[in-house]
């Protein structure tokens, strides 16, 4: 039976991962923002379905005529055709009923995005089958999803640390008081580990290995017990396989600079606010979201560095998608927050 009603979908479309929420059901899709394409034609493999996890699984097993493409770069649509084709597959996976209309979509966008970049995203979503598209700042969506008092008469601040960038915003009464974007994210931290291993041990490792090390052993604040781990790479001079021992303290020191830059960005956003708003933040604190917020010790590190209490959202990685989902299911209440 074909229904006339529309589904409400919320999409957090990031350079590394795409997370989709449906209505008030929570997350229904969480997959890499990637597609496996035929190099000569640019077409997605397997009749257009080789996207997300399937594409990622093919990454290290593809012949030379096949490549893994990423339709987003620095938070914006870099390949509109590929983005549309990928999103068409993702949206089809999330459909629960046959409807005469496509879904109503609320999609996150990074701070500082231009009208042209936003229009490109809307066009890609419509081309993928969305009947209507609303846009919301990723940082604001994360604040809503993390439970910050965005609509109340008190200031709230959120810092969403993603794979390639950090979005920071301060809100009050549903208005964005200030926002900013930093070109620092999880990949920046991974590169810092790569550079530290090269400098300390003259050993070359890849970003993928650095990411695994960061997620499993990285920390922003001293641990109760420091440990050492063995890393495998190639000698910086001979290129021969070699191993080295790196301590969790050395890893923490490697992460200090990019994390300190994020802390400085939060401080610079807060400082110009009116005294009464700054007073609100001194009580409310800063809400930390995004996958990098799962780094152990990140809240006390930022609290100590900024001088304002910080806390990590209960579901930091999914907060932006969950917040966009709240907006999508009650658009009348949140209409003023949409771009």
What would the two tokens of residue 154 be? 């008190």
pLDDT tens digit string along 96-144?
765 667 889 999 999 989 999 999 999 999 999 999 999 999 999 999 9
CB 188 within 8 A of CB 169: no
Percentage above 70 pLDDT, the chain: 96
Q: 232 in helix, strand or coil?
A: strand
Q: Tell me, what's the pLDDT at 2?
A: 47
Name the pLDDT band for 195 (thresholds 50, 70, 90): very high
pLDDT tens digit string along 178-190?
999 999 999 999 9
Residues 317, 315: Cα–Cα separation, whole Å:
6
**Mean pLDDT in residue range 244-248:** 92
Q: Which CATH number do you get for residue 215? A: 3.30.420.40
231, part of any domain:
yes
Residue 278 shares a structural domain with residue 203: yes
Residue 293 shares a structural domain with residue 161: yes
The count of domains in the chain is: 2
Q: Tell me, what's the pLDDT at 133?
A: 95
Residue 17 shares a structural domain with residue 131: yes
Residues 316, 210: Cα–Cα separation, whole Å:
21
Residue 229 shares a structural domain with residue 292: yes
Whether residue 163 is predicted with pLDDT greater than 50 in this model: the reply is yes
The single residue listed with the structure tokens 């005529």 is 65
Residue 296 shares a structural domain with residue 168: yes
Residue 175 shares a structural domain with residue 268: yes
Name the pLDDT band for 95 (thresholds 50, 70, 90): confident
E strand or H helix that includes residue 221: none
Output the average pLDDT for the chain.
Answer: 90
**Mean pLDDT in residue range 238-267:** 94
59, part of any domain:
no
Residue 123 shares a structural domain with residue 197: no
- When mean pLDDT is compared across 44-53, 59-68, 98-107, 146-155, the lowest value belongs to 59-68
pTM: 0.90
Whether residue 215 is predicted with pLDDT greater than 50 in this model: the reply is yes
Tell me how far apart the terminal alpha carbons of the chain are, to the nearest angstrom.
35
Whether residue 4 is predicted with pLDDT greater than 60 in this model: the reply is no
**Mean pLDDT in residue range 272-292:** 90
Residues 278, 192: Cα–Cα separation, whole Å:
32
Residue 112 shares a structural domain with residue 205: no
Domain that holds residue 15: 8-33+70-140+320-337
């Amino acid at each position: 039976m074909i229904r006339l009603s529309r589904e409400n979908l919320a999409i957090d479309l990031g350079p590394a991962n795409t997370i989709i929420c449906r209505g008030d059901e929570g997350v229904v899709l969480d997959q890499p923002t990637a597609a496996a394409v035929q190099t000569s034609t640019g077409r997605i493999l397997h009749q257009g379905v080789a996207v997300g996890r399937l594409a990622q699984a093919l990454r290290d097993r593809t012949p030379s005529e096949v490549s893994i493409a990423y339709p987003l770069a620095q938070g914006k649509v870099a390949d509109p055709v590929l983005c549309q084709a990928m999103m068409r597959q993702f949206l089809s996976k999330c459909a629960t009923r046959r409807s005469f209309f496509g879904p109503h979509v609320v999609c996150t966008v990074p701070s500082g995005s231009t009208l042209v970049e936003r229009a490109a995203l809307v066009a890609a979503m419509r081309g993928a089958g969305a009947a209507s598209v609303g846009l919301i700042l990723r940082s604001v969506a994360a604040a809503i999803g993390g439970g910050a008092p965005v609509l109340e008469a008190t200031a709230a601040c959120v810092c969403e640390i993603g794979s390639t960038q950090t979005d920071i915003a301060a809100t009050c009464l549903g208005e964005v008081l200030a926002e900013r974007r930093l070109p620092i994210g999880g990949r920046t931290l991974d590169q810092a580990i790569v550079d530290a291993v090269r400098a300390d041990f003259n050993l070359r490792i890849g970003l993928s290995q650095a990411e695994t090390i960061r997620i499993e052993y990285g920390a922003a604040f001293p641990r109760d017990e420091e440990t050492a781990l063995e890393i495998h790479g190639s000698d910086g001079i001979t290129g021969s396989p070699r191993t080295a021992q790196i301590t969790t303290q050395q890893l923490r020191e490697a992460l200090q600079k990019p994390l300190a830059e994020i802390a400085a960005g939060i401080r610079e956003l807060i400082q110009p606010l009116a005294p009464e708003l700054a007073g609100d933040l001194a009580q409310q604190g800063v809400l930390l979201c995004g996958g990098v917020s799962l780094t152990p010790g990140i809240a006390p590190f930022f609290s100590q560095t900024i001088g304002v209490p910080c806390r990590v959202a209960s579901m930091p990685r999914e907060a932006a998608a969950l917040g966009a989902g709240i907006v999508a299911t009650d658009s009348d209440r949140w209409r003023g927050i949409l771009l």
